[in-house]
């Protein structure tokens, strides 16, 4: 059974600092997704990582994927308050040709002025 | 706004009542997924449709749950004899076959509260 673990689960940081969220998964998968969720809202897609060594960047966020280590990271550079949210990684498991996403528990990020 | 809509957005019901939720996917998307998210947790897969065919159901989907996608367009999720443990956010997502990244686009969710 595919399991996805994120750490830390809670992260409080100051504006301007850098930090990394880690996502480990238990079985082979070549696709990993990062989503952002604001309180009471749905999921907003951030990154789709399709292959080993993939790196994507958008603004202050950068995501990478190491399929051999079964690890993805989401790096936050010079954090700003607007990035406060819960971040989920999700790993794809193929079922009859389509993907079922298995999500991590989420990392609740709070950025303080 | 991803283009996936869900109704209602909020539903409060009493234990034992039946409820039905609707999801309208992005119009050209042939795949539709239902997930459930409880407070403080990540979404959990419930079921998946390709066109009108329901191809996978999670063990989380007890006999009280049923989902349909009659014409391969919108989908409904019905919960019969609701229990307090059914309180959660129910999320719908859609995707399109043949797209390289198979990205799922999520709707705003229906938040169910069972009293």
A1 touches chain B (CB under 8 A): no
Query: Does pLDDT of A12 surpass 70?
Result: yes
Count of CB pairs separated by less than 8 Å, A with B: 69
Please answer whether residues B105 and B93 qualify as being in contact, where contact means their C-beta atoms are separated by less than 8 angstroms: yes
- Cβ within 8 Å, pair B108-A99: no
Q: Which two tokens stand for residue A44?
A: 């907003």
* Predicted confidence (pLDDT) at residue B6 exceeds the cutoff of 90: yes
Q: Is the pLDDT of residue A98 over 70?
A: no
Cα separation, A74 vs A63, whole angstroms? 4
Residue from A9, A42, A108 to probe the interface with B (highest B Cβ count within 10 Å): A42
Tokens coding A79: 């954090």
Residue A3, chain B, CB below 8 Å: the answer is no
The least confident of B46-50, B54-58, B85-89, B106-110 is B54-58
Does the pLDDT value for residue A95 go beyond 90?
A: no
For residue A97, the model assigns a pLDDT of 64
Percent of the residues in chain A that have a pLDDT greater than 70, as a whole number:
96
Under the banding of pLDDT at 50, 70 and 90, the label for residue A80 is very high
Question: How many beta carbons lie within 10 A of that of residue B4, not counting itself?
Answer: 22
Of A42, A99, A100, the CB nearest to B106: A42
- CB contact under 8 Å between A100 and B43, yes or no, is no
Model confidence at A31, pLDDT cuts 50, 70, 90, reads confident
Q: How many CB atoms lie within 10 A of CB A96?
A: 10
Give the span between the Cα atoms of A109 and B34, in whole angstroms: 26
Residue A46 sits at the chain B interface (C-beta within 8 Å): no
Tell which A residues from 4 to 23 touch B, by Cβ distance under 8 Å. 4
Task: Kindly determine whether residue B91 and residue A42, on different chains, have CB atoms separated by under 8 Å.
Answer: yes
**Chain A residues touching B105 at Cβ < 8 A:** 45
* Alpha helices (H) along chain A: none
**Please, what is the Cα angle at B26 between A29 and A103, to 5 degrees?**
30
| Per-residue pLDDT tens over the stretch B50-76 | 999 888 888 888 899 999 999 889 999
Q: Flag if B45 and A100 touch (Cβ within 8 Å).
A: yes
Q: C-alpha angle with apex B93: A56 to B3, nearest 5 degrees?
A: 85
Question: What span, in angstroms and rounded, lies between the C-alpha atoms of A74 and B67?
Answer: 35
Strand partners, A93: A100
Contacts of A31 in chain B (CB under 8 A): 101-102
Q: Is B16 exposed, middle or buried (0-12, 13-18, 19+ CB in 10 A)?
A: exposed
Question: Please, which pLDDT band fits residue B101 given cuts at 50, 70 and 90?
Answer: low
Q: Are B77 and B67 in contact (CB under 8 A)?
A: yes
Of all residues in chain B, what percent carry a pLDDT higher than 70? 97
Q: Quick check: A94 contacting B, CB < 8 Å? A: no
Nearest CB to A48 within list B35, B101, B111: B101
Q: Structure tokens of B54?
A: 């329901």
Band the pLDDT of A99: cuts 50, 70, 90.
confident
Looking at residue B99, its pLDDT comes to 63
User: How big is chain A, counted in residues?
Assistant: 113
């Amino acid at each position: 059974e595919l399991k996805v673990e994120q750490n830390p689960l809670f992260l409080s940081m100051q504006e301007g600092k850098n930090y990394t969220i880690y996502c480990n998964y238990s079985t082979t998968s070549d696709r990993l997704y990062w989503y952002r969720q604001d309180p009471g809202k749905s999921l907003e897609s951030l990154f789709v990582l399709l292959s080993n060594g993939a790196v994507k960047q958008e603004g202050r966020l950068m995501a990478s994927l190491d399929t051999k280590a079964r690890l993805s990271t989401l790096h936050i550079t010079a954090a700003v308050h607007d990035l406060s949210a819960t971040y989920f990684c999700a790993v794809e498991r193929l079922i009859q040709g389509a993907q079922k996403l298995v999500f991590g528990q989420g990392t609740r990020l709070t950025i303080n002025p | 706004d991803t283009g996936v809509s869900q109704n209602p957005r909020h539903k409060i019901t009493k234990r034992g009542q039946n409820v039905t939720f609707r999801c309208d996917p992005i119009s050209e998307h042939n795949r539709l997924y239902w997930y459930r998210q409880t407070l403080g947790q990540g979404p959990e897969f419930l079921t998946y449709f390709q066109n009108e065919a329901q191809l996978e159901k999670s063990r989380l989907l007890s006999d009280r749950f049923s989902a349909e996608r009659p014409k391969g367009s919108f989908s409904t999720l019905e919960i019969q004899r609701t229990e307090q443990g059914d309180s959660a956010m129910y999320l719908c997502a859609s995707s399109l076959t043949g797209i390289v990244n198979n990205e799922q686009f999520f709707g705003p969710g229906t938040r169910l509260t069972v009293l």
